[in-house]
Amino acid sequence: MARISDLLAVGRTFSFEFFPPKNDAAQLSLGRTIAELEGLNPAFVSVTYGAGGSTRERTRDLLVWMRKETTISPMAHLTCVGHTRADINTILGTYRSAGIENILALGGDPPSDPADVGPSDYAYALDLVEHLCQDEGFSIGVAAHPEGHPRSTSRAQDRRFLAEKLRRADFAITQFFFEAEHYLRMIDELAALGVTKPIIPGIMPVTNGGQVQRMAELSGAVFPAWLARRLDGVEDADEVRRIGVEVATTLCADLLAAGAPGLHFYTLNRSTATREIYANLGLPVS
């Protein structure tokens, strides 16, 4: 097992994100994806966390399974929503016992009905980060939004809040974006605030145009007009993926050339596009 902060201190990291399966069939499909991606030697993988409580146990079970049955180092997502400090301490104890050392601390999406979740002792992700910092057993990451968090009142406010999180956390992983200038501008803005912690860019290769556009809107990312034009009228799924992989490969190459500390791929629990980008970039595999 390896702490992500230690891995980043040595060199670039390449990593993947999964979401917990909702049923047995999805579990089998994800198992195949993990096996296919394990050969790419990821530095770590992350597993998302249901803010409304629907997938929390599945997240835990998947993390513990990966820790025991694969060579992959998993990172757990944790959110503020619906958690007390006692809840978090219990979860951390489970992860510590399983040998999981990496946590991504998130605010979490507010539930549509607050009655669906329990009380929370945390108002913001920074509150959760400060709690986690009291336990030296974990490397702590936070989320960054290159184009600004959708609930931020201004870009300047977003950068101040992110800088405060990164002064306590070890690293950040970004929400996905499609143009390198957004990431590079964010890095410059944080440096101006005196923060230079590693920020790993998140990459979402387009394999379903409509789906990714909806996800971009929810996350505050802009789906660029030039990319929409390239996909306009393309109905063949393989051709959509080919365009998405080509665009993502160019973005990844630009980010690495600019000095990004690694790449984090949002896989949507599928391996094909990520494996194709790896091949295009000439990244090492086992």
Single-letter residue type at 282: G
- Residues in contact with 126: Cβ distance below 8 Å, sequence separation at least 6, in sequence order: 161, 164, 165, 168
pLDDT at 112 (0 to 100): 61
Q: Decide: residue 153, CB within 10 A, 0-12 exposed, 13-18 middle, 19+ buried.
A: exposed
Q: What is the mean pLDDT of each run of 10 residues along the chain (286 residues)?
A: 90 94 87 92 90 67 88 91 90 91 88 67 93 91 95 93 97 97 98 98 92 84 92 93 96 98 95 96 84
Of 17, 179, 189, 276, catalytic:
17
> How many residues appear in the chain?
286
Is residue 17 flagged as an active site residue? yes
How does DSSP assign 97-130, residue by residue? HHT--EEEEE--PPPSSGGGS---S-SSHHHHHH
- Determine the topology of domain 4-281 in CATH: TIM Barrel (3.20.20)
For residue 76, give the 3-state DSSP assignment: strand
Instruction: Identify which of 11, 111, 3, 103 has the alpha carbon closest to the alpha carbon of residue 60.
Output: 103
CB atoms within 10 A of CB 10: 9
Distance CA 20, CA 43 (A): 19
pLDDT of 110 reads 67
